[in-house]
Amino acid sequence: MKIDRPKRKFKTIDLLPLINVVFLLILFVLIAGRPTTDHPREIEVALSTQENQYVAAPFSVRLGADDKFYLTGEAPKSLAEIAARVAETGAGEQGLAVELIADRRAHAAALMDFRQAMAKAGVGEIRIKTEFRAEQANGD
């Protein structure tokens, strides 16, 4: 005798819409997200434990681990050339800040020389770009 058993229906979950939504979220974050750095990868910026809201400066200078200063190109610039460029843009006369992206391996003497050169160029504010690192509970 043959017993008719009801056939089981396997329910499947359609993952394609979920994959599409996740892909669109990733694209949104990549496009709309604020970049955390705008400096070359060879520069390791200093760490800070105080988070400040980022405000872009109109003029940016990079200080490499070799204690040389760079603008947009790959060739190092002297402090006199950078001061002349600041004077051309009028950043000092307008009271605009200059952003310094310094490698954490750079020497303090180069930072002091930069500060003095910018003071002579009429720049009143220098913002040093750092990477935020929250303090750890154990004091490290």
User: Each residue of 49-67: pLDDT tens digit?
Assistant: 766 666 667 778 888 888 8
**What CATH code is carried by the domain that includes residue 78?**
3.30.420
pLDDT for 55 equals 66
Least confident segment among 15-19, 37-41, 86-90, 121-125 = 37-41
- Whole-prediction pTM value? 0.57
Residue 1 is assigned to a structural domain of this protein? no
Residue 41 is assigned to a structural domain of this protein? no
Question: What is the tally of structural domains in the chain?
Answer: 1
Residue 99 is assigned to a structural domain of this protein? yes
pLDDT for 25 equals 92
User: In the beta sheet, which residues pair with residue 61?
Assistant: 100
Domain containing residue 61: 47-132
pLDDT for 56 equals 67
Give me 89's structure tokens: 């843009």
Cβ atoms of 69 and 76 within 8 Å: the answer is yes
Residue 38 is assigned to a structural domain of this protein? no
